Structure 1
């Protein structure tokens, strides 16, 4: 009788598998991962049926957080905007020509000079500007508002009477003042300044530019009219302008012909006297 031997292979039994825990499904706001934000807290409160007063407090917290983030974004964008190579040219000549054909006076930037230079640079960083115009008590008030795309805004407000110099009608007087205030409020709220057409940005008028060209190469800064002397003389200059004896351009040209340049602020002050009695 033939015996067939079979190999016996010992197989180690695998340990019994642990029973699976019942699945638990998370839903809604409770399933949110990551940092807890006011939005997250608000969703949880709504799901749990929190009372309206508590939800109202969460809404206030959310709004304050959004406002803070918007302001931080505004400040950052304005800082980046200031790094842009923006040059605002002064293309408008104010003054007169002598018999020899020389121009006597000064230049300033028109509204379009300012908006064309500033607008694109601001938009690049999520900023925009707009004006609000109000009238009352014989004054025209212009608010220039700069707004960031996240909603934060800041503004500068200036007022002035209608510009009745020359032979303007009532509408032209109003439009002249509005344009003037729009220009200066936009410059103020953005912290920008203008540069002359051909004076290397030193802020001088036509008379001063020729003097700077003749100055030694090592003279880095022009000599400006002392503010103390300006304050001492401005009363008489203002009277001369408001009485119609001279124009702002003539006063500026006369002062600068003595060899010292007027600053932009001083020239703007002289120019403003022509609008006081408008």
Structure 2
């Protein structure tokens, strides 16, 4: 009785030659291995392949971002601010984080992008980094930082969450290069800037006139909420510094 040994066909380990461009680093590396290239030579070719892939990923990222910016993305200001102060009625709208995400999300996904945030806190200073990643691997990021928002009647967790949300909104707009647009905002951008500056000056004036720590705390609570709602981080920080300086002055005078 004889036994016939049937050998199973060997599995192809290397990628088919027609799937690897001959002039790519991988194609050249495969050709070199067939010709007996040394390990050092193969390692150098692998490094070359990695750099080549990174450059291709960056080009794909830039092309996709350009395509994204050709989309008609509009961030509608849905949050209404409406109050009456010493200078009369103040009424305007601004966007919240959900408005920004709803506006840019579908277009970003369409062009192969995903985004995420990383948050780092050191004492009261909070840093938020928005990371934009393309499906081919290239990433870009933008970071902003601010102090915890202690205005109003917020507890510590609410103060941190308020600032994180604020920075998430602005870093996502910055990394994608989009801006807010009102329903009928011809010239509204400059108008909102003037409103913010007027409010800042008005409340800083109130800070200067405060004669007690109790009065200063009231101004901080009320003015902080109003200025924060304008979405102008520079004006908010200017107001906060004025309160801090005044508090130090009143404390030393006691």
| TM-score, structure 1 normalization | 0.64
Paired residues of 1:161 and 1:275 also in contact (CA < 8 A): no
Of residues 41, 55, 60 in structure 2, which corresponds to 1:73? 60
Equivalent pairs counted in the alignment come to: 213
Question: Could you say if the C-alpha distance between residues 103 and 204 of structure 1 is closer, same or farther in structure 2, counting changes exceeding 3 Å?
Answer: farther
Residue 234 of structure 2 corresponds to residue 269 of structure 1: yes
Residue 184 (structure 2) aligns with: 198
Distance in 1, Cα, partners of 2:111 & 2:50? 23
Residue 37 of structure 2 corresponds to residue 61 of structure 1: no
Of residues 80, 84, 93 in structure 1, which corresponds to 2:71? 84
Secondary structure in 2 matching 1:96: strand
Of residues 160, 173, 182 in structure 1, which corresponds to 2:168? 182
Identify unmatched segments of 5+ residues in structure 1. 1-27, 209-223, 253-263
The structure where helix makes up a greater share of residues is 2
Residue 111 of structure 2 corresponds to residue 120 of structure 1: no
Paired residues of 1:29 and 1:40 also in contact (CA < 8 A): no
Displacement of 1:92:
1.3
Displacement of 1:41:
1.5
Residue 213 (structure 2) aligns with: none
Residue 117 of structure 2 corresponds to residue 152 of structure 1: no
Residue 37 (structure 1) aligns with: 24
Displacement of 1:189:
0.8
Displacement of 1:169:
1.1
Distance in 2, Cα, partners of 1:118 & 1:241? 39
Residue 51 (structure 1) aligns with: 38
RMSD: 3.5
| TM-score, structure 2 normalization | 0.70
Displacement of 1:202:
4.0
Cα distance per residue 1:231-255 (max 9 Å; x no partner): xx99956734766377378789xxx
Residue 9 (structure 2) aligns with: none
Which one has the largest radius of gyration? Answer: 1
Paired residues of 1:29 and 1:44 also in contact (CA < 8 A): no
Displacement of 1:200:
4.3
